[in-house]
Amino acid sequence: MSARLPFAIAARDGLARTGILETPRGRIRTPAFMPVGTAASVKAMRPDEVAATGADIVLANTYHLMLRPGAERIARLGGLHRFMRWERPILTDSGGYQVMSLAGLRKLDEAGVTFRSHLDGAQVHLSPERAMEIQLLLGSTVAMVLDECTPFPATHDAARASMELSMRWAERSKAAFGAPEDAFLFGIVQGGTYPDLREASANALKAVGFDGYAVGGLAVGEGQAAMLATLEASVPHLPEARPRYLMGVGKPSDILGAVLRGIDMFDCVLPTRSGRNGQAFTWGGSVNLRNARHAEDPRPLDEASSCPAARDYSRAYLHHLVKAGEILGAVLLTWANLAFYQELMAGIRAAIAAGRLADFAAEAAEREARGDIAPL
């Protein structure tokens, strides 16, 4: 199994690892951050611009794409890579999470989930088998098993029942997916915040055998401490030689905390969504460009950044664009944020290679605590 998707770990620092995941679509440097391209577009960015920030892989959402434009249509157009002009690896989620958060009138049973599209109310059924079919039609490089994202909070009984359903679906997903030459399948650990359930889930997935392992059901309101504790209860039970992906996470400090606990891959809408809302990520923490303090500030977001959006445009101009609702404001802040996240990941990889990740994390926390540059 592991030879299908070579993962070469080049260096370790405590539980953290840095390496290369080799896919037929190109290499993924880990720890990796995957920008979210929900509906076949990393919002406000061209694919060549996303690549230029240093992203090796993007994520796209099966739920959105199955409803519009449809997986069969994308397949007829040559697959998702060609459709969105992104030739590097693409990871797709299974659709399950967004069925729960976006669709109406859901009915979940052993077979799968039936729901109404948030676009036109059409009734749609998603089973493990259909979720695999869709991701194969899309031509995903990395597909995810269909799972139920256990709500938070959940009782131990509810979390166990939900996790066990996800494990049965994981097995069905694997059977339906098969072992295509250029597509790979990750299992997803569930179990809420209960260590015994997380361990049982990890063991159940290992028994099936996947190309990689995700930790799901986090960043749903449990808080950073509970999230990191759940990672500590999950990661040690995952195969050492396979990539580990923490789904939907997170803030820079979440990512650092997770890498320190052995996570290799991340995705999150924060840099893109925040960029559209006037919020920038910097080493000094998040900066709200709507704030009047920026209105006459000729300084850039970060004069040391290698990203033109962060380095060359004044805060005064960014403030104006955001206040005026100009598309360029969303474009520039999305660009700056994606570049910052990739700069963070590059820093993390270099720190692991140098055996100083703990220092790197402490320095990042200290810079964030110092905050933004002082107002003029």
Cβ atoms of 347 and 256 within 8 Å: the answer is no
Q: Which two tokens stand for residue 51?
A: 């690549």
Distances, alpha carbon 288 to alpha carbons 38, 187, 224, 278, 333, in Å: 24, 37, 22, 6, 11
The H-assigned helical ranges of the chain are 47-52, 62-67, 71-76, 80-84, 96-102, 128-138, 156-177, 195-208, 224-234, 252-260, 270-276, 308-311, 315-323, 327-353, 357-370
Q: What is the DSSP letter of 314?
A: B
User: Among residues 211, 264, 267, 297, which one is catalytic?
Assistant: 267
- Regarding 317 and contact with a copy of itself (CB under 8 A), the answer is yes
**Which listed residue (314, 358, 363, 373) binds a copy of itself by CB under 8 A?**
314
- Regarding 180 and contact with a copy of itself (CB under 8 A), the answer is no
Kindly state the smallest distance separating residue 32's Cβ from a copy of itself, in Å: 23
Q: How many residues bind a copy of itself (CB under 8 A)?
A: 35
Kindly state the smallest distance separating residue 140's Cβ from a copy of itself, in Å: 17
Kindly state the smallest distance separating residue 344's Cβ from a copy of itself, in Å: 24
Distances, alpha carbon 51 to alpha carbons 57, 224, 246, 274, in Å: 8, 30, 22, 19
Sheet with 104-109, edge to edge strand ranges: 104-109, 112-116, 123-126
What residues does 280 pair with on adjacent strands?
287
- Residues in contact with a copy of itself, shown as a per-residue x/- string from 66 to 105 under the rule CB under 8 A: --xx---x--xxx----xxx--------------------
Span of 155-163, 167-175, 310-318, 354-362 interacting with a copy of itself by CB under 8 A:
310-318
**Which listed residue (12, 46, 251, 356) binds a copy of itself by CB under 8 A?**
46
Q: Which two tokens stand for residue 351?
A: 């720190």
- Regarding 333 and contact with a copy of itself (CB under 8 A), the answer is no
- Regarding 311 and contact with a copy of itself (CB under 8 A), the answer is no
Question: For 204-259, what is the HEC assignment?
Answer: HHHHHCCCEEEECCCCCCCCHHHHHHHHHHHHHHCCCCCCEEECCCCCHHHHHHHH
Q: Is 321 or 351 the residue whose CB approaches a copy of itself more closely?
A: 321
- Regarding 291 and contact with a copy of itself (CB under 8 A), the answer is no
Kindly state the smallest distance separating residue 148's Cβ from a copy of itself, in Å: 27
- Regarding 63 and contact with a copy of itself (CB under 8 A), the answer is no
Kindly state the smallest distance separating residue 270's Cβ from a copy of itself, in Å: 17
Q: Is 245 or 335 the residue whose CB approaches a copy of itself more closely?
A: 335
Residue 372 annotated in active site: no
| Cα-Cα-Cα-Cα dihedral sign, residues 308, 309, 310, 313 | positive
Q: Which two tokens stand for residue 85?
A: 């002009």
Kindly state the smallest distance separating residue 69's Cβ from a copy of itself, in Å: 5
Residue 93 annotated in active site: yes
- Regarding 115 and contact with a copy of itself (CB under 8 A), the answer is no
Q: Would you tell me which residues interact with a copy of itself (CB under 8 A)?
A: 39-41, 43-46, 68-69, 73, 76-78, 83-85, 276, 295-296, 298, 312-314, 316-317, 320-321, 323-324, 326-328, 330-332
Active-site residues, by number, are 93, 267
